[in-house]
Structure 1
Amino acid sequence: MTILVTGATGFLGGVTARALAEAGHEVRGLGRDAARGAALQRDGVRFVAADLRGADWDALLAGVDGPPVEGVVHAAARSTLWGHAADFHADNVAPSAALARACARRGVRLVHVSTPSVYNATGHTQGVREDTRVGPRFDSLYARSKWQAEEAVRAALPDATVLRPRGIYGVGDTSIVPRLAAALRSGRLPRLTDREVWTDLTDVRNVAHAITLALARPAPGVFNVTDGQAIPLWATLDRLADTLGVPRPIRRVPARLLEGIAAALEFGARLHPERPEPPLTASGVRLLTRPMTLDLTRARERLGYAPVVTPGQGFADVFAALRGGAA
């Protein structure tokens, strides 16, 4: 199968593109980073330099100097808790809609990677199902844009598969673990709750596995994806601190107080002409203090999904890489 993977020079896209190439598919990896593109080439993925904004999707799917694309994995996105609404729309909504329309015109299978962040403002936190009603309020511009992208994809291509993987981590992670590690090393991270916070996360290899299943087994609709086992977040942070050789967070600060401070910082940043990212966001605080587990019934029954990596193994690999200086 000839597959185009967007965001292939990113974390999820890179892991997915390599996994698909190793499985024998002809994979084209779309991205902007030439150095990472060269690394993809060495691993059997044909690198295609392109920007999502204004991309000629019909030409990319046609395969001008090769066979036409049969499947697309749209893993590229602006993934941050802060930014300008126009940028989120330009990077998340508009390209997703244009790509879905092109796939519809050419009869190409599409697997669109979204996020469970769309659930954050619903008030549901345990065993959240895909049919949970979301909107019109969202807790971040990122979540809003990903929901709008989902809506655009479904409108253009009802047969598309939309995946919502929760908190992607793993060796090579450029977001979750590095940010937490930086906060622990700086000593700025207080302990925000007296109770443990149980939450779902997803090893990147499990997401790549779900994507592979979605390409092989047509399954229209939205699917939650996680490791299938909730982890104790603060106990995991303690293990991360031990691995880094830094003190565990012990200074206690009420979560509501810190969330209020974050909201004030956000308000000040919005008043600034350049809207610089504040050092703390309310959404970021909530990620450390509010549980979130997702129901996987639909993914198990319709995709045949079962996690291939447990959280225990996933974090063991991450901590081993940190000790070896590879993550």
Structure 2
Amino acid sequence: MRILVTGATGFLGGAAARTLAKAGHDVIGTGRNAALGAALECGGVTFKPADLRGGPGELLNGVDAVLHCAARSTLWGQWADFYADNVDVSARLAHACAQRGVRLVQVSTPSVYNATGLTRQVPETTPIGPHFDSLYARSKYLAELEVQGVMPSAAILRPRGIYGPGDTALMPRLARALHGGRLPRLTQNEVHTELTHVDNVVHAAILALQRPAAGVFNITDGVSIPIWATLDRLADALKVPRPTRYVPAKVAENFAALLEAVYRLRPDAPEPPITASGLRLLTRPMTLDLSRARERLGYAPRVHPRDGLSAVLEKLK
């Protein structure tokens, strides 16, 4: 199968492109980082630098399927950029795939559930919007609507908290916060959530490319983990103090919201050291219902968080 992987110079896109090429598929990877593109070429991926804001153009020539991983994936930024990179690009790509009869698998996010108030075994049928806890979540949900509007046959994956080899966001962000000593303990009780090893996301994406299943699918490791116990393990691996100073979550969120407001006074301001939506990820439990992915995609997590997290922490040591 000839497969186009967008965002192939990113964490998930790169892992997916290399895995698909290793499995014998003819893989085209797109991205903006030529240096990382050269590394993909060594892994059997044909790299084509591209800015998708102008549409996919000739990238779809001869392609059987598209795995759309490219996105502005951050908790900080301007709405115009989120809309352009997440909503508009997805809409253009979906229209092009629909016109050519190309299979589309879109990578979204369960962040769209964050403002719903649900925390346990959240299903894909959960009513979403009109309020979201981040611009990122709002843009990804609007992107889903655009894709479903023109390609009802598309598969949309919502993997929660992707981690693993090559992670440039989740664990590095937490590590920086621990190194800087600016992360207080925000709750006196343990908080359980779910993460998704990158290999599990790639496995789900391959299943979605191979099967004609349509709709939205939650993806996780299938096992909840204790957030604060994991942060303690991370601190131990980094040989830095564990978070002990207690600050009520609401107080910290209010301070972060105020800090964000100050930073937004300057359009070119960098991301604040803390954001309210980022703090909420550490204080609000969430597990996802995987029934639909198991039944329609045949999804079964291949990497257990016990092994996946242990490998990550061991590497940090």
Please, what TM-score do these two structures have when normalized by structure 2?
0.98
What one-letter code is carried by the residue in structure 1 that aligns with 2:41? Answer: Q
Correspondence 1:206 to 2:205: no
**8 Å contact 1:4–1:29 — kept in the other structure?**
yes
Indicate the residue corresponding to 1:218 in structure 2: 212
Correspondence 1:59 to 2:58: yes
In the TM superposition, residue 276 of structure 1 has moved relative to its aligned partner by 4.1
Distance, in Å, in 2 between the alignment partners of 1:130 and 1:51 is: 31
Aligned partner of 2:135 among 136, 141, 154: 141
Distance, in Å, in 1 between the alignment partners of 2:270 and 2:49 is: 29
Correspondence 1:163 to 2:144: no
**8 Å contact 1:92–1:146 — kept in the other structure?**
yes
Cα displacement string for residues 228-272 of structure 1 (whole angstroms, at most 9, x for unaligned residues): 000001101111111111111111111111001011112222333
**8 Å contact 1:238–1:248 — kept in the other structure?**
yes
What one-letter code is carried by the residue in structure 2 that aligns with 1:49? Answer: P
Stretches of structure 1 that go unaligned for 5 or more consecutive residues are 63-67
Indicate the residue corresponding to 1:8 in structure 2: 8
Q: Once the two structures are aligned, what percentage of the paired residues are identical?
A: 67
Aligned partner of 1:299 among 293, 297, 300: 293
Indicate the residue corresponding to 1:30 in structure 2: 30
Indicate the residue corresponding to 1:65 in structure 2: none
Indicate the residue corresponding to 2:232 in structure 1: 238
Aligned partner of 2:108 among 111, 114, 117: 114
Distance, in Å, in 1 between the alignment partners of 2:74 and 2:314 is: 27
Q: Aligned pair in 2 of structure 1 residues 3, 273: CA closer, same or farther (>3 Å)?
A: closer
Distance, in Å, in 2 between the alignment partners of 1:188 and 1:228 is: 31
Aligned partner of 1:99 among 84, 93, 103: 93
Correspondence 1:74 to 2:68: yes
Correspondence 1:309 to 2:303: yes
**8 Å contact 1:83–1:275 — kept in the other structure?**
no
**8 Å contact 1:100–1:156 — kept in the other structure?**
yes
Distance, in Å, in 1 between the alignment partners of 2:183 and 2:52 is: 35
Distance, in Å, in 2 between the alignment partners of 1:137 and 1:191 is: 27
Aligned partner of 2:180 among 161, 180, 186: 186
Number of aligned positions between the proteins: 317
Aligned partner of 1:268 among 262, 282, 285: 262
What one-letter code is carried by the residue in structure 2 that aligns with 1:173? Answer: D
In the TM superposition, residue 172 of structure 1 has moved relative to its aligned partner by 1.1
In the TM superposition, residue 273 of structure 1 has moved relative to its aligned partner by 4.3
Distance, in Å, in 2 between the alignment partners of 1:105 and 1:58 is: 12
**8 Å contact 1:71–1:109 — kept in the other structure?**
yes
Indicate the residue corresponding to 2:40 in structure 1: 40
Match of 1:53, SS state, is helix
Distance, in Å, in 2 between the alignment partners of 1:274 and 1:79 is: 18
Match of 2:53, SS state, is coil
Q: Map 1:316-327 to 2 at 5 A.
A: 316-323=310-317
Give the superposed CA RMSD.
0.9
Please, what TM-score do these two structures have when normalized by structure 1?
0.95
Cα displacement string for residues 120-163 of structure 1 (whole angstroms, at most 9, x for unaligned residues): 00111110000000000001100000000000000111100000
Cα displacement string for residues 290-320 of structure 1 (whole angstroms, at most 9, x for unaligned residues): 0011000000000000000000111111112
Distance, in Å, in 1 between the alignment partners of 2:272 and 2:113 is: 23
**8 Å contact 1:171–1:321 — kept in the other structure?**
no
